[in-house]
């Protein structure tokens, strides 16, 4: 095994340790919430959180890839002023867009609660829940810890929100606070996760001799790092469109089939996180290594790494999907109680879709590292945006299972196109 693949694997294992703990804890607190609130109440909670995730994923800025890509050379050369400049660039954009997302959520969430018939409690707490977007506005500190290869820290931090949310859930059930209590607990955990990662990154920056970011001008960064503005825009758009369909699905289900169906789908989707999270982590843990190999023009080693990484990802996905295929009804009944057993079918379909998409985050990261984020953007836009109207039609025709059928089709198309594009680009570079 090459040193690059070993390094990516080590990064992945460190991230996975915290995510594994978080995945187990999230299943626990989701099962408690589902049993406490029932399909309809849990569906309202899922829709509230779904709107926040959608706004955080589409309006907020994801600058971690930009920071890792353009921060490597300054870090390698000991140029702390350059590193501060890149950090300040991505952090400033992220802070401004996070504020915009919070303001949009503050005014939109009450309207969505009223229009969707989520109930008076959800409508009353909706403006406050807007601050949950802070959980998404932490991509710059995430990128800085990647740049310094602090994957152990990231793995530990990945358990922060699940632990705090589980504690909050237990308190809510003990005190009998109902839906408002769950909203408060989930919001508090999200805010704490975001703020704590920013604090950790700023402390690291100061400890490593880079000092505090301070104030500066965008023009200086754009002049010092040619292409950073375009790269930040395109890679962020790609990252957004890769995630927009998964974030939009619970909202589409709620709009077409109602809160109870949204609750069934959300629990099924979260039960398949064993597939989703490793795929995302593969892309995140491999990006730093892929970017380093690309900057050194080590194309042969990069080809081997991507081929093996893709094979491992899909193989792992199919293994987990097979377990869900034979035990869907039982898994849902265990998680949410007898009322959720009806979602066994959609659980199986979502598991298949996510297994087929296991390689996609890694391939998207490779295209971004190879200076082709626009190619990944085109694939994400084409498959993701076409999937949304298709899903509305499919749910009206096949009920909740229709969402699963479209997810499978999108996964096949996106993965195949990303694999083909990556192969052609690497072939042209090594020719």
pLDDT in tens, 53-69: 888 878 877 777 888 88
- Put simply, whether the predicted model's pTM sits higher than 0.75 gets the answer no
Yes or no: say if 372 and 253 are a contact pair by the CB < 8 Å rule.
Answer: no
The reported pLDDT for the residue numbered 180 is 92
pLDDT value for 1: 47
Q: How far apart are CA 154 and CA 317, in angstroms?
A: 23
| Dist CA 155 CA 11 (whole Å) | 9
The rounded distance, in Å, linking the Cα atoms of 286 and 383 is 24
Residue 20: helix, strand or coil by DSSP?
helix
Half-sphere exposure of 325 (CA within 13 A, CB side): 10
- Cα dist. 315→273, 354, 386, 405, 408 in Å? 16, 12, 27, 21, 16
d(Cα 109, Cα 128) in Å, to the nearest integer?
Answer: 9
Residue 299 near residue 425 (C-beta atoms within 8 A): no
Q: How far apart are the first and last CA of the chain?
A: 24
Stretches in the chain below the pLDDT threshold 70: 1-20, 210-217, 238-239, 241-243, 273-288, 291-292, 295, 373, 431
The confidence score (pLDDT) of residue 347 equals 84
The DSSP 8-state label assigned to residue 208 in this structure reads: T
Helix axis angle for 259-271 and 228-257, nearest 10°, is 130
- Looking at residue 279, its pLDDT comes to 58
Cα separation, 147 vs 164, in Å, equals 27
| pLDDT tens per residue, range 44-56 | 988 888 888 888 8
Please count the other Cβ atoms lying within 10 Å of the Cβ belonging to residue 105: 25
């Amino acid at each position: 095994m090459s040193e690059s693949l070993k390094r990516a694997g080590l990064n992945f294992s460190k991230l996975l340790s915290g995510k594994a703990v978080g995945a187990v804890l999230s299943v626990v607190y989701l099962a408690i919430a589902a049993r406490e609130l029932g399909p309809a109440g849990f569906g309202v909670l899922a829709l509230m959180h779904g709107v926040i995730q959608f706004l955080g994923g589409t309006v907020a800025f994801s600058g971690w890839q930009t920071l890792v890509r353009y921060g490597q050379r300054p870090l390698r050369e000991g140029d702390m002023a350059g590193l501060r400049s890149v950090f300040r660039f991505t952090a400033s954009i992220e802070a401004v867009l996070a504020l915009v997302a919070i303001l949009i959520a503050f005014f939109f969430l009450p309207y969505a609660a009223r229009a969707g018939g989520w109930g008076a409690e959800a409508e009353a707490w909706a403006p406050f829940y807007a601050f949950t977007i802070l959980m998404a506005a932490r991509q710059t500190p995430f990128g800085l810890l990647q740049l310094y290869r602090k994957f152990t820290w990231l793995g530990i931090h990945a358990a922060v929100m699940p632990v705090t949310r589980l504690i909050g859930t237990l308190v809510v059930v003990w005190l009998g606070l109902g839906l408002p209590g769950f909203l408060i607990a989930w919001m508090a955990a999200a805010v704490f996760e975001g703020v704590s990662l920013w604090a950790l990154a700023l402390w690291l920056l100061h400890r490593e001799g880079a000092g505090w970011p301070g104030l500066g001008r965008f023009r200086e960064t754009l002049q010092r790092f040619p292409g950073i503005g375009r790269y930040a825009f395109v890679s962020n758009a790609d990252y957004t469109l890769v995630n927009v369909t998964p974030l939009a699905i619970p909202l589409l289900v709620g709009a077409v089939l109602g809160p109870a169906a949204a609750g069934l789908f959300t629990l099924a989707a979260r039960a398949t996180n064993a597939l989703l999270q490793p795929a995302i982590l593969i892309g995140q843990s491999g990006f730093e290594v892929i970017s380093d190999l690309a900057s050194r023009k080590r194309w042969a080693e990069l080809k081997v790494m991507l081929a093996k990484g893709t094979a491992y990802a899909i193989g792992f996905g199919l293994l987990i999907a097979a377990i869900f295929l034979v035990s869907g009804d039982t898994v849902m009944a265990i998680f949410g109680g007898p009322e959720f057993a009806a979602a066994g079918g959609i659980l199986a379909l979502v598991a298949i879709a996510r297994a087929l998409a296991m390689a996609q985050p890694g391939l998207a990261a490779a295209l971004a590292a190879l200076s082709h984020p626009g190619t990944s953007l085109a694939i994400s836009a084409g498959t993701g945006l076409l999937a949304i109207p298709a899903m509305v039609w499919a749910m009206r025709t096949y009920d909740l299972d229709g969402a699963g059928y479209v997810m499978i089709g999108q996964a096949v198309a996106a993965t195949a196109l990303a694999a083909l594009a990556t192969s052609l680009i690497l072939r042209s570079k090594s020719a």
